[in-house]
Structure 1
Amino acid sequence: MTTPAPETRIVQDWRVACDGGEGALGHPRVWLQIPKEQGWIECPYCDAKLIHQTAKERV
């Protein structure tokens, strides 16, 4: 059995919220600050990769 890859989302804001996106099966909402020099961040709960739109070509 294989584990599905974590979700990747392109976002427009440098500060984003993640709640797992699955309603009651998600996780507590956390606010994440995307580092401008890196251009992306991973959610510590669900491992979703949130990529700022200006960095999508670099990642």
Structure 2
Amino acid sequence: MTIEAPETKIVDSYRIACDGGEGALGHPRVWLQIPQEHGWVECPYCDCKYIHSDHAKA
């Protein structure tokens, strides 16, 4: 049995909102701050990884 990897999204802002993206089946909206030193953050609800576009090439 394999576990599907969480979704990864490239974003242009260091402050983003995540609500699970599935309407009523998602999760409460949370605001996440991407630290500039490593350029990514994971949502504590759905484990979606947000990578800032300045760090996506690395």
TM-score (norm 2): 0.94
- In the alignment of these two chains, the number of paired residues is 58
The residue aligned with 2:26 is 26
- Structure 1, gaps ≥5 residues long: none
Task: Name the structure where helix makes up a greater proportion of residues.
Answer: 1
TM-score (norm 1): 0.92
Letter in 1 for 2:56: K
Q: Show CA shifts across 1:15-59 (max 9, x none).
A: 00000000111000000000000100000000000000000012x
Compare 1-10 and 21-30 and name the one that shifted more: 1-10
Paired-residue identity, %: 69
User: Runs ≥4 in structure 1, deviation > 3 angstroms?
Assistant: none
